Structure 1
Amino acid sequence: MINLNKHLIISGQVQGVGFRYSAMQKAMEFQLTGWVRNKSNGTVELEVEGEEKQINSYIDELKNGFNRFIQVDHMEITSQQEKGYDKFTIK
């Protein structure tokens, strides 16, 4: 099975609204690994690894926001070399 790694920078109403915790919970549901962290400029940075279909479904969920307080305005997505994470963490 080929796993992919996607690096995302997400902007919008994504800090102080439970975004990182929700991102971690959803990643575990999709059996994905990686990490998520807030950046000082108000964006959230995220790296996720797993099967392409699972990652695409996860990204669709991210775009919709996880709750009514989260508003995703823009996502910058790049593909990277797989790093081999064993779980999903909040940094």
Structure 2
Amino acid sequence: MGAVNPRESIVRRRAVVTGMVQGVGFRWSAREQAHRLGVTGWARNRVDGSVEVEVEGEPASVERMVAWLRSGPPGSAVDDVRVSDAQPDGDDAFRIRQTE
């Protein structure tokens, strides 16, 4: 067996979080949680009131971040999280982006 390519163990997920998720510090809390979990990506508000998040990293850490998105920070009220696969793009940090 050959060596495992480290990039093969990196996954990226895109999540659209709906509910009371704007104006409650959701993106900033997501950035703190991402830092704790060692994942990269970004979060931004969408004009429809949802928050869009992309998370990249080791599969277990990405899944922990997605699980966190399902509850969110105190003061938020998550109704739904739609998750899809995305292509890893090598982000080096987790950033807050401008509204789409």
Q: TM-score range with shorter-chain normalisation?
A: over 0.9
In structure 2, what is the equivalent of residue 64 of structure 1?
71
Q: Deviations over 1:8-58 (max 9, x none)?
A: 111000000000000000000000000000000100011010011011111
**Aligned with 1:26: secondary structure?**
helix
Q: Which amino acid in the other structure matches residue 19 of structure 2? A: G
In structure 1, what is the equivalent of residue 86 of structure 2?
80
Q: Out of 4, 22, 25, which is 2:11 matched to? A: 4
Q: Which amino acid in the other structure matches residue 58 of structure 2? A: E
How far is the alpha carbon of 1:62 from its aligned partner? 1.5
The percentage of aligned residue pairs carrying the same residue is 37
CA RMSD of aligned residues (A): 0.8
Normalised by the length of structure 2, the TM-score is: 0.87
How far is the alpha carbon of 1:64 from its aligned partner? 1.6
Separation in 2 of the partners of 1:39 and 1:55?
Answer: 22
Normalised by the length of structure 1, the TM-score is: 0.95
- The total of aligned residue pairs comes to 90
**Aligned with 1:54: secondary structure?**
helix
How far is the alpha carbon of 1:66 from its aligned partner? 1.4
Show structure 1 runs of 4+ deviating over 2 A.
none
Q: How does 1:1-91 map to 2 (within 5 A)?
A: 1=6, 2-67=9-74, 69-91=75-97
Segment of structure 1 superposing worse, 58-67 or 43-52: 58-67
Separation in 2 of the partners of 1:35 and 1:65?
Answer: 15
Larger radius of gyration: 2
